[in-house]
Amino acid sequence: MQSKKIYKSVALLGLALPATVVAQQAKKDQVMVNQGEISVAEGGVMSTIYDFDNTKEGYVKNDGTVYYYSNFNNDNIYDHSTNAKGSKAVFTPFEEAKGAQRITGSQPSNFFDVVLDNPTKDMAFDLKNEANVRGSVDFKDGIIKVDSLAGMLTFHQGAKALKPTDRSHAEGYVEKIGNEEFQYPKGDKGLYRYARITAPENVKDAYEGKYNLDDKNFFRARSAKSGVINLLDEREYWTVDKGSDNSKGDIMLTLSWDERTTPKELLVNPEKELHIVRWDAKQQLWVDEGGVVDLEKKEITTPTSVKGYGFFTLATVNTDLILDGDIVIYNLVSPDGDGKNDYFIIDNINRFPNNTVEIYNRWGVKVYDTKSYDSAGNVFRGYSDGRVTVNKGEKLPTGTYFYIVSYEYKDASGSRMIKKSGYLHLESNK
């Protein structure tokens, strides 16, 4: 049976007061229970070597520093004043104590600064609570595992992740809310493998991130890839998703490579061949998101905002199939509604709105033409369409067609028109 010390009201004004429990049982059987109000003023210090339980009747306002040497549970209000930048919660074991510290509770816990300092290997902190951070998380020592069902570690506007390493990072989903660049302090199986996003448009935009290592079943179920992709990094993947439907902005994504996790075959010529790829759930295949490589930092960044969200990894690409501006033209169209090649796909063409697409049948008759392709649903789906095409609106028969794609490309040398022509195969069941 646990021994409980019940607090109805505690106010600390610049004092250092350890919370003690008078009983004969071992420390692991003690609980500091709050059923009233605990207020730690700026400059005040409180500590408890026992489990801390803020009950459904409890209220905690921490504007000072609180040391939690054991487990933490919050079932009501745990908060700080709006401008209390001296508010800090330190999670660390007492003296030579060992084992993971549990951070649980049915209600969100609002922290300013958090310090994680527990040398326990594999899992030092078990987060089964919604932990909101508005200052920083200092990853001194120990991995915090975010429970997939009951946990969430959220960094709000202005919040920072300080010094994450292999020894100390977050394993599981981490959320960022705000319109500023953020580097996710995430990893898996004892390895820190961050992802970074550029600043989204709105202060309320939310993005979630997670890293997974050596999940073979994941890649068995997701093996298909677009024709431009050669070798796929099947050891690791990153998840980046919008955290809510209200997130309207878009981001550029930066990933890194690490010789301990990234297959060496992908790193033969990373500056030329390495790209970021994304699993397209609709098409059920990996698609190219492009990439600008920083060899010194071992990082790669999408050249523009990502075209979708979900799962990302690294891959080498066939540069011979990539035109200026990372344009990739796919030559199979099978509009059967299965989400794969349902239309004439030209990756990244919408980055260059001054473009035209023309398609001709084998007799040289134009069957499709449009300007600013793929800007407003104007894509080729196997039907005759255009200003001067024959039999407009008619479903075209299966066969080989000829395309001409032209677009204006601008770089440091100026502006020029690029034209690419080739054959595409239409499978229309007609």
Q: What is the pLDDT of residue 303?
A: 84
Q: What is the pLDDT of residue 336?
A: 86
**How sure is the predictor about 12, in pLDDT bands with cuts at 50, 70 and 90?**
very low
Whether the pLDDT of residue 284 is over 80: the answer is yes
Closest CA to 273 of 254, 292, 286, 257: 292
Q: What is the pLDDT of residue 53?
A: 96
DSSP 307-365: S--EEEEEEEE-GGGEETTTEEE--EE--SSSSSS-S--EETGGG--SEEEEEE-TTS-
Q: What is the pLDDT of residue 245?
A: 73
Q: What is the pLDDT of residue 10?
A: 53
Instruction: Find out whether 61 and 36 touch, Cβ atoms under 8 Å.
Output: no
Whether the pLDDT of residue 253 is over 70: the answer is yes
Instruction: Find out whether 21 and 5 touch, Cβ atoms under 8 Å.
Output: yes
Count CB-CB contacts under 10 A for residue 305: 14
**Least confident among 187-191, 299-303, 361-365:** 361-365
What distance in Å separates the CA atoms of residue 167 and residue 190, rounded to the nearest whole number? 7
What distance in Å separates the CA atoms of residue 252 and residue 306, rounded to the nearest whole number? 6
Instruction: Find out whether 190 and 143 touch, Cβ atoms under 8 Å.
Output: yes
Whether the pLDDT of residue 1 is over 50: the answer is no
Q: What is the pLDDT of residues 55-110, one digit of tens each?
A: 999 999 999 999 999 999 999 999 999 988 999 999 999 987 889 999 999 999 99
Q: What is the pLDDT of residues 221-238, one digit of tens each?
A: 999 998 889 999 999 999
Whether the pLDDT of residue 365 is over 90: the answer is no
Whether the pLDDT of residue 282 is over 70: the answer is yes
Closest CA to 39 of 77, 68, 94, 3: 77
What distance in Å separates the CA atoms of residue 428 and residue 430, rounded to the nearest whole number? 5
**Least confident among 2-6, 230-234, 325-329, 408-412:** 2-6
Q: What phi and psi, each to the nearest 5 degrees, are found at residue 254? A: -120, 130
Please enumerate in sequence order all residues whose Cβ is within 8 A of that of 116, keeping only pairs 6 or more positions apart, or say none: 91, 92, 124, 125, 137, 138, 139, 140, 141, 142, 144, 168
Q: What is the pLDDT of residue 20?
A: 36
Mean pLDDT of the chain: 90
Q: What is the pLDDT of residue 148?
A: 94
**Least confident among 178-182, 279-283, 322-326:** 322-326
**How sure is the predictor about 23, in pLDDT bands with cuts at 50, 70 and 90?**
very low
Q: What is the pLDDT of residue 223?
A: 95
Read off the pLDDT of each residue in 154-163 and give the average, rounded to a whole number.
98
Read off the pLDDT of each residue in 100-122 and give the average, rounded to a whole number.
98
Q: What is the pLDDT of residue 18?
A: 39
Whether the pLDDT of residue 257 is over 90: the answer is yes
**How sure is the predictor about 198, in pLDDT bands with cuts at 50, 70 and 90?**
very high
Instruction: Find out whether 345 and 335 touch, Cβ atoms under 8 Å.
Output: no
Q: What is the pLDDT of residues 207-217, one digit of tens each?
A: 999 999 999 99
